[in-house]
Amino acid sequence: MSETAMSYVALVLGWAIPWLLGFAILLALDWPRPDPGASLERGGHAALRLGYGYFVGVLLLTLWMRILSVFGARFDWLTIGAPLLIVASACLGIAARRRAVSFVATRDAVTALWRPQLPRWQRIAWLLLLAWLGLRFALLAAEVAWQPLYPWDAWVQWATKARVWYELGHIVPFVRADAWLAGAAGAYFDASPNYPATVPLQQVWSSVALGHWDDSAMNWPWFLTLIALSLAIYGALRDAGVPSLGALIGTWLVSSLPLVDVHVALAGYADLMMGAVYTLAALALYRWTLHRDRCDAGIALLLALACPSIKIPGIVWALTLVPGVVVALLPNRGLKLVALGFGVAALALLALGKAETVILGYRLKLAFEPSWRSLAESYFFFANWHLLWYGAIALTLLGTRRLTKPPLAPLTMIVAAGVVFLFVVFAFTNASAWVGDYTTVNRATLHLAPLLVCLGVLLWNEMTTVTHTSVPAHATALAGTPVAADA
């Protein structure tokens, strides 16, 4: 076997370990637990576990690498890969004792994903769509394999850290220019020294697994992120009662968004992972609102807490989940409370804007200066989002009533908070200039777009699903919350 082939085998093994770790942990936790009233849907649950497993594994991998650095241990296969593999094996052992792992279960799950029980026309559509997605993923994989690190910020503020940490074998601090010029000992400098470590640590692990620096091959996590996001979205939609073909269509809608694909092909930015983790946090939270399973809440919390470790605005994205929690916990008064919260936030914005306060690098200002033309071009005229925003507007108009009622109300409030966040950034901060020159508007929107697609598919499903009783299936879970909880 050639040296290149060996390197790639090592890279595949390297990324299989964190993925297996996350998958095994979820298996050991018996997550996702099937809805007691629903039939067991193996394909959807397997996809959900696989998709979420990747992100749980990656976050634990980067957490472990941080811990290693704190204790001065050097990054290598033994210090990173071996412990993760041991934990993954232990979790698989726990799952095996519960008989959660079996050949039959695996075979059924693969069959359900590959050849679900569908009428003939749907099976044809299913296979055609899978082939279309397969071609898309193959094209993106080719770009990841051959394209050297390309986009600007990737090599002025993300991979800079990866290169240094990989070559030195541990994390070293990056500091601002003035501190560096003043002679900060052992400190490095790049364009954004305060940016978090999660993304570059993935590139470091790729390089450790490969055994050498290669700024194309280190970007495979971006491709894996899209695959895992697709699996998780398919699983989440199936889990929420969307039919197999509908869930696959929802998955296609997300993975076909050109800006999502660009962020895989031209890997190196943190926005795709930010969007993926945020989407999965919101969907786990949504699952919690339906089932009140602690594991759902735990996963939602883990992913929400991870948001600020991916990008600095991740802290705001994590906070946008709060309205969803409020509406879920207080089904009767939640919407009013959230509306009140938005009002208070608007007042706070006025006060902070008057003082031109800088928050997370954005300078707030009272001047209302949205760049409507650029925004319209970005959302409606250019190819960034296909027909996402047209569809979102149409569905909002057609489904307003369902959006504000269980089971979708919590997810609606999350998306609404996200849209408000984007609007405030684009209209009331110095970022409005970056809308005008198209540099930030779409990347910021990328954080919300996958979730918006999911909400659209779930809304459509709610609007078109015929139920045999007047109460929607999931509403019972929400409505089951004691009214006293409002008190």
Interface of this chain with other proteins, residues 137 to 196, rule: CB under 8 A: 139-140, 142-143, 146-156, 159-160, 163-164, 166-168, 177, 180-181, 186, 188-191
Question: Among residue numbers 412 through 471, which ones bind other proteins (CB under 8 A)?
Answer: 438-443, 460-461, 463-469, 471
Q: Among residues 9 and 90, whose Cβ is nearest to other proteins?
A: 9
Q: How far is the CB of 236 from other proteins (least distance, A)?
A: 16
Site string for other proteins, 331-370 (x = CB under 8 A): ----------------------------------------
CA 278/CA 314 separation, integer angstroms? 8
Residues with Cβ < 8 Å from 483, sequence gap 6 or more? 332
> Quick one: 91 or 247, whose CB is closer to other proteins?
247
User: Considering only residues 226, 262, 408, 425, which one is a binding residue for other proteins as defined by CB under 8 A?
Assistant: 262
Nearer to other proteins, 22 or 32 (CB): 32
Task: Measure the N-to-C terminal CA separation of the chain; round to a whole number of Å.
Answer: 68
What is the helix (H) or strand (E) element at residue 363, kind and residue range? Answer: strand 362-363
119 binds other proteins (CB under 8 A): yes
**Angle in degrees, CA 278, 296, 61, rounded to 5:** 60
Tokens found for residue 258: 């050109």
Shortest distance (Å) from residue 256 CB to other proteins: 5
Cross-strand partners of 250: none
What SS3 state is found at 257? coil
Pick 429 or 442: Cβ nearer other proteins: 442
Hey, which residues between 212 and 241 contact other proteins (CB under 8 A)?
213-217, 241
Q: Which is nearer to other proteins, 91 or 215 (CB)?
A: 215
Tokens for 416, please give them: 């609404």
**Type and span of the H or E element at 359:** strand 358-359
What is the identity of the amino acid at 355?
A
Please work out, in degrees rounded to the nearest 5, the angle formed at the alpha carbon of residue 277 by the alpha carbons of 273 and 282: 150
- 397-416: contacts with other proteins (CB under 8 A): none
CA-based nearest residue to 245, from 126, 133, 119: 126
Sites for other proteins among residues 59-88 (CB under 8 A): none
User: Is 364 in a helix, a strand, or coil?
Assistant: strand
Residue 106 CB, nearest distance to other proteins (Å)? 26
Shortest distance in whole angstroms from residue 280 CB to other proteins: 23
The single residue among 46, 84, 95, 249 that binds other proteins, judged by CB under 8 A, is 249
Kindly indicate which of the ranges 46-54, 88-96, 348-356, 378-386 contains the residues binding other proteins, using the contact rule CB under 8 A: 378-386
Residue 302 CB, shortest distance to other proteins, in Å, is: 28
Of the listed pieces 57-65, 115-123, 284-292, 297-305, which binds other proteins according to CB under 8 A?
A: 115-123
36 vs 119, which CB is nearer to other proteins? 119
Two tokens, residue 217: 């091959």
The Cα–Cα gap between 225 and 53 comes to: 11
Closest distance of CB 337 from other proteins, Å: 29
With 0-12 / 13-18 / 19 or more C-beta atoms within 10 angstroms meaning exposed / middle / buried, residue 153 is middle
Binding residues with other proteins: total (CB under 8 A):
85
- Answer for which of 263, 311, 365, 447 binds other proteins (CB under 8 A) is 263
Helix (H) or strand (E) holding 358: strand 358-359
In this chain, which stretch among 103-111, 259-267, 419-427, 478-486 interacts with other proteins, using CB under 8 A?
Answer: 259-267
Question: Which two structure tokens, joined as six digits, stand for 219?
Answer: 């970007």
Structure token digits, residue 157: 């503020």
Tell me the C-alpha distance between 194 and 137, whole Å. 33
CA 84/CA 81 separation, integer angstroms: 5
Residue 466 vs 484, nearer CB to other proteins: 466
Q: Which is nearer to other proteins, 31 or 126 (CB)?
A: 126
Q: The dihedral of CA 308, 309, 312, 317: what is its sign?
A: negative
- Report the residue number, 86 or 182, with the smaller CB distance to other proteins: 182
Interaction between residue 266 and other proteins (CB under 8 A): yes
Pick between residue 228 and residue 441 the one whose CB is nearest to other proteins: 441
Q: What is the dihedral of CA 91, 96, 99, 102, to 10 degrees?
A: 110
Binding residue (CB under 8 A) for other proteins from 66, 76, 256, 479 = 256
Two structure tokens written together for 71? 């204790």
Rank residues 48 and 395 by Cβ distance to other proteins and give the closer one: 395
Q: How far is the CB of 381 from other proteins (least distance, A)?
A: 4
Closest separation in Å from C-beta 428 to other proteins: 21
The three-class DSSP label of residue 429 is: strand
| Comparison of 215 and 293: residue with beta carbon closer to other proteins | 215
CB distance 274 to 310 below 8 Å: yes
User: Shortest Cβ distance from residue 317 to other proteins (Å)?
Assistant: 19
Residue number, 166 or 223, with CB nearest to other proteins:
166
Q: How many residues does the chain have?
A: 487
Residue 380 interacts with other proteins (CB under 8 A)?
A: yes
Q: By CB under 8 A, is residue 383 in contact with other proteins? A: yes
> Do 447 and 278 meet the contact criterion of CB atoms below 8 Å apart?
yes
Asked if residues 208 and 76 have their Cβ atoms less than 8 Å apart, the reply is: yes
Distances (CA, A) of 389 to 33, 181, 395: 34, 47, 10
